[in-house]
Structure 1
Amino acid sequence: MLKSEARTVYLQKRAQLTLKQQAVWDDLLLIRVQQLPMPPLHSVFSYAAIARRKEISTDAILGYLEFRNPGVRFAYPVYDPVSSVMNAIWVDDETLFSINEFGISEPQNGPVAHPRELDLIFVPLLCFDERGYRVGYGKGVYDRYLKELRPDAMIVGLSYFEPVPRIADTDKFDVPLNYCITPQRIYEF
């Protein structure tokens, strides 16, 4: 399957999900995350789900990780469309978020988290393949960022759907996931 084909198919599949399906699958995803072998975490990079695109919300998962790892810090992406650069921004309970031009909720301010400070990174995706490669929205923003992580950082995708056998047009710029979690199972790459 080509990335462009996967985008079309999986955007349509997500659009057809009901709120009830999402709620059940979100609960199952949280259970799977609780089964993921993780060292103690000091920092987690996540994303703010776009509800209208039926992206998987990480809110309950982050709550669990905070309970399990007291003092863990969280960062969220801020994207600069002029430079096509994404930065991770540390957030806390006082951080204000605003919606950017792409409909993504971003922290308004805060210190920048260096990629090498991050222990666990949740990456949004439309679909993934059996080798751990993901299809996003096509700008390559996350792949450029992921190349800057420490080698031991955990890159985790969340998907409502099982993998496709192979994304045919991956290239040297694509960074594979370490894990992808679906409601049915945990995939390790």
Structure 2
Amino acid sequence: MKKEIRNKIINNRSNLTEIEIIEKSNIIFRKLKEIDIYKNASNVMLYISFNNEVLTKPIIEDLFQANKRVFIPVTISETKELIVSELLSIEGDLEIGNFGVLEPKKNCLRPFSPHELDLIIVPGVAFDPRGYRIGYGAGYYDRFLPQVPNNVPKASIAFDLQIIDFVPSETYDMPVEYIITENRTIKCNLDN
């Protein structure tokens, strides 16, 4: 079932034009900037967007301008492990890595403890109002998030078309607390 949902949402998202992606991403970014968990965070982990995702480059640039530290995930395909690495330069640090996603060059890998993060912006394909998500299917975040202290806020940014009524979840799945779309900010809880 997750595979069908994933394929449907990716297909729907692929129908967005470049202009729609930019306009909707700008609205989402403005809404994200208004939330306290973003304003108060100093060490923010987020991903480098690709494949018609909400654009994250403006967020990264905003964090740099505010003298905040930016961290991105690095996937280790042999162990299916995700490590956190500090990003100092979008242009200088990155190269195409696993899954065609930009990742730090080997000499720009700067591992960082997940315990020191103030905010994690978690990627996903589909979300429900409870905060459960369907990712891309490799399970990297499913293995990573349990290593992060519970008090570290987790949020996701997505287009409204990625919100569905219900995501099938397993006991190990960890929901995010916020989902920000161009149309709404969802404060997730299991009562939704």
Structure 2 segments unaligned to the other structure (5+ residues): none
Number of the residue aligned with 1:89: 85
Instruction: Return the letter of the residue paired with 1:34.
Output: K
- Summarize the Cα distance change of 1:90–1:65 in structure 2 as closer, same or farther, 3 Å threshold: closer
Please give the residue correspondences for 1:59-70 in structure 2 after superposition, counting only pairs within 5 Å: 59-67=57-65, 70=66
Distance across 2 between alignment mates of 1:34 and 1:100 = 29
Q: Please state how far the C-alpha of 1:106 moved relative to its aligned partner.
A: 0.3
Number of the residue aligned with 2:14: 15
Structure 1 length normalisation: TM-score? Answer: 0.90
Instruction: Return the letter of the residue paired with 2:94.
Output: F
Number of the residue aligned with 1:44: 44
Contact 1:95–1:110 (Cα < 8 Å) also in 2: no
Structure holding more helix per residue: 2
Matched, 1:76 2:72: yes
Name which of structure 1's ranges 142-151 and 90-99 shifts more when overlaid on structure 2: 90-99
Contact 1:127–1:161 (Cα < 8 Å) also in 2: no
- Summarize the Cα distance change of 1:34–1:42 in structure 2 as closer, same or farther, 3 Å threshold: closer
Number of the residue aligned with 1:110: 109
Q: Please state how far the C-alpha of 1:40 moved relative to its aligned partner.
A: 2.1
Contact 1:75–1:89 (Cα < 8 Å) also in 2: yes
Q: Please state how far the C-alpha of 1:123 moved relative to its aligned partner.
A: 1.2
Instruction: Return the letter of the residue paired with 1:73.
Output: R
3-state DSSP of counterpart to 1:112? coil
Number of the residue aligned with 1:121: 120
Q: CA RMSD in A?
A: 1.6
Instruction: Return the letter of the residue paired with 2:97.
Output: N
Name which of structure 1's ranges 16-25 and 101-110 shifts more when overlaid on structure 2: 101-110
